[in-house]
Amino acid sequence: MLRYDARVNTAVIDIGTNTLLLLVVDENLKRVVDLCRFGRLGKGLDASGNLDPEAIARSLDICREYRAVMDAHQVDAPAIIATQALREAKNAAAFVKPAEEILRARIEVIEGTREAELAFLSVARTFPDLAGRPYVVVDVGGGSTEFIVTDGKRVVSAVSVPIGAVRLTERHLKHDPPSADEIAALEADIDRHLAPLDLPYGVPLIGTAGTATTMGAAQLALAAYDADAVTGLRLAPGIVEEMRARLLAATVAARKGMPGIEVQRADVIAAGVAIYARAVHRMQAPVMITCDRGIRWGLAFERSLPPT
């Protein structure tokens, strides 16, 4: 097996409500490993307040896989961040303690504002051409969504709201496909959370994380996911709305057969896309730009910055 110099590789793990992500980059911030696995730690969390034992076991197996990958690439201590599921779960320690033992590193459960900062850093470094122009970064996760408003020079506001693809699917979409009443309740819930936010009108929306990149992959009808292809893809508001309507009208089985949609994401993707569609509508955004480089990349970029 090809092995890499431990002095030049950095590993970052992002433990989310739906997925666990492993990113390994070299000293030039070039992607060496970029893996996504579906632990679904947030399964049932909205209703119970606790992590599901099966989700814990599944996610610990992913941690074991990731530890083996890091060992193969001679990475000792990864930087590990965790978001909404572990912020919220009353029994978070049931996962955190064994996961830290497996990964041989501490898990930092970050606040929503910190998550927003990392999402912004990732987008700002990925799209330097946006510098000096106002835009909004929207990171739809499984359990929460971050909204970061920038004037192109600095972050004006960064807010995390407790709506996400997994949470809203479990809360509202009980039938397959969802009923009209369920869709109305879903969108009313989204609009209720968007209403207090101070979001600008008429500026681009930059979508990061799995829901946004799945939208990009679906628009391109990718047979195999391509991070570079979806990063920078521009979706007109009409495309976003058409995708929302099409996914909400489809069964989970039908979604699984759509090019660009991962089988493990098919049951929750419609609710995630609905969040983006309502945000685009609320902002009257002229375009949604998709970006594969989410908070895992933000942390990798941050760790590469010289000390101040």
pLDDT tens-place string over residues 75-118: 989 999 999 899 999 999 999 999 999 999 999 999 988 988 89
- Over residues 61-66, the mean pLDDT reads 98
Q: Which helix (H) or strand (E) holds 14?
A: strand 10-15
pLDDT of residue 103: 97
Distance CA 203, CA 216 (A): 19
Q: Which helix (H) or strand (E) holds 299?
A: helix 295-304
Q: Please, what is the average pLDDT of the chain?
A: 93
* Pairing mode, strands 205-208 and 234-235: unpaired
Distance CA 15, CA 37 (A): 10
Is the confidence at residue 305, as pLDDT, over 80? Answer: no
Q: Which helix (H) or strand (E) holds 82?
A: strand 79-82
pLDDT digit string, tens, across residues 18-61: 999 999 999 899 999 999 999 999 999 989 999 999 999 999 99
Is the confidence at residue 210, as pLDDT, over 80? Answer: yes
pLDDT of residue 188: 98
- Over residues 188-201, the mean pLDDT reads 97
- Structural domains in the chain plus CATH codes: 10-110 (3.30.420.40), 112-295 (3.30.420.150)
